[in-house]
Structure 1
């Protein structure tokens, strides 16, 4: 050992309290688009708990059932199919979706101008029904959809955005992971003989 090397060794052993070697454990972590360590269900449950605290929920469904409703909404499962699965009425599922701000104006109130509905008095159901060539129950439903949208907008669509983030990201993560696996397999097998006779 030359003089400089000895000097550096002495400095190293002084700094490391006399240890001759330093070993730091390393863990291999897998990359993920999902930065939150909680499961999707835990994250959904957290959003639902926040909403229950802030709003008077008009639903008798449990948190687990509400999680299923949210997932079903993002999977394009109809209210009727969700109702059958949860053994509740489709109206219960509709109420739950409104409570969670999960509405689609085109599907939930087709052919009805929700902006016009908002501006009109609730006592004017007959006139609205005539104007939109709809039944009174359809107008009542449209007013409920409009009210749910207003409630969501008053919260800057915060909860809807959280649902989008949780459930939209999970689909994206699965799709990207699948693409990565396929690309990796393609790269690994590139140039290999595939015409093998057994």
Structure 2
């Protein structure tokens, strides 16, 4: 139970004199909590990625295995540049994949306008040219921030389900670091095998 949940529990008990909600909240949500086997965690992340791919129209060209490595690296604190090197793609491809997975960084929202206004205009179905005129910015700026707003909107409509499930699986520091290290070692091993294959003796 985190600090915020504990505070809410105390307030509830003080005002109602009952603690039935405490019992319900103390149970792990779904079956994601208390998993410390990296292979099991990776399999569950893979299932979440596959579910998202079925539900949404992904823009990314990355396969599910690469997306799992991206999610693991993201929660381990890797930058888009780090992940781009690891997965041998451009940082822009990492950004696209992240947004497909509802993983929005605070820096993604550093727009020269109020992002809430962009969200509202998108929900209303406004085209980029109309949005640009209303926000008084070039169309290219709207095109840059549209995917960020769209990812936030999709995530909000799901009540942040996927982002929260990823976080619940991967925010154990030791586990996340172990999985990230395993992923990097696998990538290094594959790169080494490619080098050995290409060498003619």
Distance 1:163 1:66, change over 3 A: same
Q: Paired residue for 1:163? A: 166
Task: Say whether 1:49 aligns with 2:44.
Answer: no
Between structure 1 and structure 2, the one with the greater Rg is 1
The answer to whether the 8 Å contact 2:100/2:151 transfers is yes
Q: Distance in 2 between matches of 1:157 and 1:35?
A: 21
Deviation at 1:166, TM superposition (A): 0.4
Q: Which structure 2 residue ranges, 5 or more long, are not aligned? A: 1-32, 178-201
Deviation at 1:35, TM superposition (A): 4.4
CA deviations 1:55-87 (Å, max 9, x no partner) are 121111111210111122212212122112211
Q: Paired residue for 1:124? A: 130
The answer to whether the 8 Å contact 2:58/2:100 transfers is yes
Task: Say whether 1:109 aligns with 2:109.
Answer: yes
The answer to whether the 8 Å contact 1:152/1:158 transfers is yes
Q: Distance in 2 between matches of 1:174 and 1:102?
A: 16
TM-score by length of 1: 0.61
The answer to whether the 8 Å contact 2:84/2:94 transfers is yes
Task: Say whether 1:148 aligns with 2:154.
Answer: no
The answer to whether the 8 Å contact 2:41/2:169 transfers is yes
TM-score by length of 2: 0.60
**Alignment RMSD, CA only?**
2.5
How many residues align structurally?
A: 138
The structure that is helix-richer by fraction is: 2
The answer to whether the 8 Å contact 2:35/2:169 transfers is no
SS in 1 for 2:98: helix
Q: Distance in 1 between matches of 2:48 and 2:145?
A: 25
Q: Paired residue for 1:61? A: 62
The answer to whether the 8 Å contact 1:128/1:139 transfers is no
